[in-house]
Amino acid sequence: YEETRLQFAEVEIPGMLLPPPPTPPPSLSPSVSPSKVPSASPTLNPTDSPTAELPEGGILVNSIIDSAGSYLPFGCNTWSRAWASVDGSLEKFHCDRTDLQDVPAGQVFSPPYVQATIAKKVRVYAGDANANVSPIDVTLEGRVNPEAPWESIGSGDLEFNNNFERNVRSTAVFIESTYESGDVNYTYAEVDFPSNNAVYSDYKVTFSATRKYEETRLQFAEVEIPGMLLPPPPTPPPSLSPSVSPSVPPTAYPTHPPTPSPTAAVADNAQAVNTILYPGSVESSGCSRTVRAGSAIAPTTEKFFCDHLDMPTQDGIWVDSLTFSPAHGKLSVAKDLRLYTHNNCANCDCVDYLLEGRVDASSAWEEIGSGDFPWKDQAVCRNTRGITINSTFESGDSDRCYDSVGFPSHSTPYLDYKYTCRRTRGNHRYHQVGRIELAGYILE
């Protein structure tokens, strides 16, 4: 009884994760009732309301699948780069179909966490090889969990835009698409499912044949399933939001000693901006696989993903970095580093950082700040993927979940910046973030 400490290693709550409801809620339009023509038809039969109503509270995103989950190919003798179909770049997926021309091929996509979604379209981006290896049609199926049977969502022919021009093959060229449209800078085909409002977690994308029947290869660059991410049933308790407010007492810049003038002066003609990083280029290091590196600075909560699998550690801890070269090409002064949470995996948040700058590509990196983020030992709310962030120089977006550390006494201008995550909350295999902002001044 007299003990002054309470300690334990872990708390587990064994229980059941319930799948999302497999049938539409009663409030949805009767035009999408199961009693109507099955949604698997390539041309959905006209109804009084051909576009199905969607639940409130969901978020429309460019794709409800990503490389954070699994992406198992089928119908292939062998395959290469299965991850490339959902990595957000123009690197291509390859499937060897020798003697399997009459066997459908494709991939099964399953999230690593419970995520109820509604698919409204499917997009396929062409690869770099000749058009004969591209698929000619697509079928989409869904299921509520791995034990449930597959249910048909729809199918259709793949009619590629841009006169069927081929896309350059590159892991450094990222697709910038939205729910409404694919990236018009690249060649892709899209099939819509306007009458679908069925809720699923896993998806199966099937291609029946390539453009040339005798072709022994199936290749494409990317698969997107535009649709809606549904929020989880429970709502965050009110106490979560304030925990990531900018008003949290600063604790994360121990490297800055007190000075007589804690707020350093900046030139009068400097432009104050919410982030000096965007637009610009992003390069990652320390990751065996990187997904959507550009999303690390883009003005939404679409997440950056880093996989540390098979990467060396520093004293048993995975470390990775992002190098930013702003497009404005001007010197700037960093004042506030902000991290916005992604949609899942609190243990994948960075809690220990190092921020550095350099004046040009040939110069050495110099430290700006380092230490823990205030949210290190706090419960943190999550941001839904793909939501626009509206921030200012003075403050991050108060409608989003984020944390920040400031550098009030820093006044050294730099051209490039390097952000290193020295530890995630759970020393997790994955490092994920919704967005990184570096508020500061651009010098004219």
What pLDDT score was predicted for residue 20?
Answer: 52
Q: Taking a C-beta distance cutoff of 8 angstroms, is the pair 407, 324 a contact?
A: no
Give residue 5's pLDDT.
Answer: 74
Q: Is beta strand 271-273 parallel, antiparallel or unpaired with respect to 350-358? A: unpaired
DSSP string, 28-39: S-GGG-TTSS-T
Each residue's pLDDT, cut to its tens digit, for the chain (444 residues) gives 777 778 788 888 887 766 555 544 444 444 444 444 444 434 444 444 467 788 887 888 889 988 777 899 999 999 999 989 998 889 999 999 999 999 999 999 998 666 789 999 999 999 999 999 999 999 999 999 888 999 999 999 999 998 889 999 987 788 888 899 999 999 999 999 999 999 999 999 999 999 999 999 999 999 999 999 887 655 445 444 444 444 444 444 344 444 443 556 676 789 999 999 999 999 999 999 998 889 999 999 989 999 998 999 999 999 999 999 999 999 999 999 999 999 888 888 999 999 999 999 999 999 999 999 999 888 788 888 888 999 999 999 999 999 999 999 999 999 999 999 999 987 888 899 999 999 999 998
- The residue among 417, 421, 279 whose CA lies nearest residue 336 is 417
For residues 179 and 302, what is the distance between their CA atoms, to the nearest angstrom? 12
The pLDDT value recorded for residue 326 is 95
pLDDT of residue 51: 75
Q: In what order do the strands lie in the sheet with 137-143?
A: 70-74, 105-110, 202-207, 137-143, 151-157
- Residue 174, beta-bridge partner list: 89
**pLDDT, position 35:** 40
CA distance 87 to 290: 8
Supply the pLDDT for residue 236: 47
State the DSSP code for 76.
-
Residues 6+ apart with CB under 8 A from 39: 32, 152, 153, 154, 193, 195, 196, 198
List, for residues 178-235, the tens digit of each pLDDT value.
899 999 999 999 999 999 999 999 999 999 999 999 999 999 999 999 999 887 655 4
pLDDT at 178: 87
Closest CA to 105 of 180, 210, 191, 7: 210
What residues are paired with 121 via a beta bridge? 192
The SS3 assignment for 224 reads strand
3-state secondary structure of 133: helix
DSSP state letters, 356-401: EEESSTTSPPEEEEEEE-GGGGS----PPTT-B----SS---TTS-
Q: How high is the pLDDT of residue 255? A: 40
Q: What is the pLDDT of residue 381?
A: 87
- Residue burial 332-348, b: 16+ Cβ < 10 Å; e: rest: bbbbbbbbbbbbbbbeb
